[in-house]
């Protein structure tokens, strides 16, 4: 049903329907923010990425053509933006090492991302995965992307992607140390 709705949204969006854009935005804002947060573990950067993704998407307007899934398209856009962000801020990333920063520290009182305690712990665990594994895990579980599509995005074989996914889950299980069983 969601896919059927997305096809309709794509169709309407191409025709400049603002309601369709608003619906796409409402529907995918949180999931894309979650994906960006998971990849960056930095609220401000995640917001910037999501902002850029949606604004760029809105600008496509009548020129927009997409055969695949909308969620996959947006998720891929987020990943590419994140990669770009990392590339541009490589120096800062190196300075702060790979240590996961608690995302909550920069949350403002009224205008920021809110999230549950458990989400924070999960995110911190995800943040400690190597980039490639983190991308695979998040794209698979948060964006419902197929391994085949993730392989295309990462430009590796599907076996490599499945391996990254398996290793990523193993590491998460180890890091979370039974927490998920609660």
Partner 1 sequence: MKPKKKVENAIRNKLWFTAGATLRDRLLTDVMKAQEESMPIRPVRCGPGIGRQIMKTRIAKVASVAAVLTVAALALTFWSRSSAPAYAITDLAAQFEQARTIHVQGWHYFPEHTMPDGSAVPPSPIDNWTDVVNARVRFTTTQLTSGADGVNVYVSEVVRDGPSWMRMDHDPRSVVYFHVSEYQQKLGVRQISKLISGQLFGDITQLSNSIVVGAERIDGIACDIWQSDDADGGRSRQWLAADTGRLVRAQDLRKLDSGEWKVATDYSLIEYNVEPPEGTFSLEPPEGYTARNSPQTAYSMDLGKNGVPGFRDDDWYYYCGPKLAFALTDGSIVLGWQSFDPMDAEKQAVLFEGVTFGGPLPKLPIEFYALIPDNGSSEPLYTGYHLAFTRKQGRFFEWGLYVPDGTPPADVQATGYEMLYRRNHEIARRFTFDHHDMTVKPEFTIETPEEFDEWVLGAMAELADDGTAPENLTYQKVIDLAQQIRTPVAP
Within 13 Å of residue 86, how many CA atoms lie on the same side as its CB? 14
Least distance from partner 1 to the Cβ atom of residue 15, Å: 5
Least distance from partner 1 to the Cβ atom of residue 12, Å: 5
Least distance from partner 1 to the Cβ atom of residue 132, Å: 16
Cβ atoms of 147 and 165 within 8 Å: the answer is yes
Nearer to partner 1, 97 or 182 (CB): 182
CA distance 167 to 4: 34
Nearer to partner 1, 76 or 161 (CB): 76
CA distance 36 to 78: 6
Nearer to partner 1, 93 or 141 (CB): 141
The pair of structure tokens assigned to 129 is 């995965």
């Amino acid at each position: 049903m969601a896919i059927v709705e997305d096809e309709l949204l794509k169709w309407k969006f191409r025709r400049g329907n603002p309601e369709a854009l608003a619906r796409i935005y409402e529907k995918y804002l949180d999931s894309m923010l979650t994906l960006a947060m998971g990849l960056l573990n930095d609220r401000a950067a995640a917001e910037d990425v999501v902002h850029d993704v949606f604004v760029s998407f809105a600008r496509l307007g009548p020129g927009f053509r997409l055969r695949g899934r909308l969620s996959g398209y947006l998720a891929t856009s987020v990943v590419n933006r994140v990669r770009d962000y990392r590339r541009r801020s490589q120096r800062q990333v190196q300075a702060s090492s790979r240590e996961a920063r608690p995302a909550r520290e920069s949350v403002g009182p009224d205008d920021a991302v809110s999230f549950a305690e458990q989400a924070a712990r999960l995110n911190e665990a995800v943040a400690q995965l190597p980039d490639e594994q983190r991308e695979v895990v998040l794209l698979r579980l948060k964006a419902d992307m197929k391994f085949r599509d993730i392989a295309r995005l990462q430009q590796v074989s599907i076996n490599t992607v499945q391996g990254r996914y398996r290793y990523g889950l193993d590491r998460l299980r180890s890091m979370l140390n039974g927490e998920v069983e609660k």
